[in-house]
Amino acid sequence: MSLLPHVLLLLLITMAVATPLRPGFYSETCPEAESIVRDVMIKAMIREPRSVASVMRFQFHDCFVNGCDASLLLDDTPTMLGEKLALSNINSLRSFEVIDEIKRGSGEVVYMALTAFICSLVLIILRYASITSILISGGPNWEVKLGREDSLTASQEDSDSIMPSPRANASFLIDLFAKFNLSVKDLVALSGSHSIGQGRCFSIMFRLYNQSGSGKPDPTIEPKFREKLDRLCPLGGDENVTVDLDATPQIFDNQYFKDLAAGRGFLNSDETLYTNPETREYVCLFKENQGEFFKAFAEGMIKMGDLQSGRAGEIRSNCRVANGRPVDILLESGL
């Protein structure tokens, strides 16, 4: 068997370790990489518009847990509980099959060169293909730094201890984002990713029927909007029913902020951005000026994409499973 695939893999591992993150990281080693991701994402969006929002959520849920390293994509093993079944992810994150589709398509097009760094390429999905989908939906554009390594492990415990619940309020989120050197403005702008997509009734049942243990609905919910939610999410009903996160769920725009100001935020963590004085300033700015929202959103996405754990990594050949160590590859190849 040819040693070329193993040599390419080791070369790309070395490149990923030695080269800092930068736009166009794969332009020479695999110029087709970004177009492959774009094409699959466009097809996925045509099949199901929700996939746009689903893929966008990956970045936040991945980067806040030990850096942007695709740990979120790892399946559980007998010795590791991964992040897919963490409290904030189970029955919530979806569209992992889009990443699998890119993996399958990439092998046919560019052989081992792309297969070798497909999960670092998945991090394009987390930061680049989602951008492409936002563009299709009317949103902003920005250059994305590429060249990350994939983590060797994942941690359900870390995810549970870091990721906020739908019950989180603005004060909690301000403190959480500050731990990652993300500002209040970043928080509000990045929350604008809820401009597209849907949420489950499960996430708002307490708001509708028992806010703060009162046995009553959240008084900040606009009455007609609450009536709509009561019909869609009745007490004792199917909590997996999904509801639009804003009034234009397939268009990336500033409608989300207009809805918050009108008391029509879906999640508690959304609506408190308007009721909290620190975050309200930016909600008001973005609802009046969509250009300012797009600019701040792009800046926040770039800053979040820079979050790194500093831990050793690799270039997975299967996004769901960590590889053996590089030395294993050497032994298998006969080098």
Positions marked catalytic: 61
Which residues, listed in sequence order, are joined to residue 243 by a DSSP beta bridge?
199
Q: Are 13 and 315 in contact (CB under 8 A)?
A: yes
Task: Kindly give, in sequence order, each residue whose CB lies less than 8 Å from that of residue 113, ignoring residues fewer than 6 positions away.
Answer: 8, 12, 29, 30
Strands 198-200 and 150-151: unpaired
Tokens of 7: 């040599």
Q: Which residue has the tokens 């847990």?
A: 65
Dihedral sign of CA atoms 154, 76, 164, 257 in order:
positive
Which of left, alpha, beta for 189 (phi over 0: left; psi -120 to 50: alpha)? alpha
For residue 148, the 8-state DSSP code is P
Task: Kindly give, in sequence order, each residue whose CB lies less than 8 Å from that of residue 287, ignoring residues fewer than 6 positions away.
Answer: 254, 257, 258, 260, 261
What values do phi and psi take at 30, rounded to 5? -155, 80
Which residues, listed in sequence order, are joined to residue 77 by a DSSP beta bridge?
80
Strands 198-200 and 242-244: antiparallel
- Whole-angstrom distance, CA of residue 16 vs CA of residue 6: 15
Tokens of 223: 């009455």
Which residues, listed in sequence order, are joined to residue 74 by a DSSP beta bridge?
none
- Whole-angstrom distance, CA of residue 305 vs CA of residue 102: 21
Dihedral sign of CA atoms 108, 110, 114, 115 in order:
positive
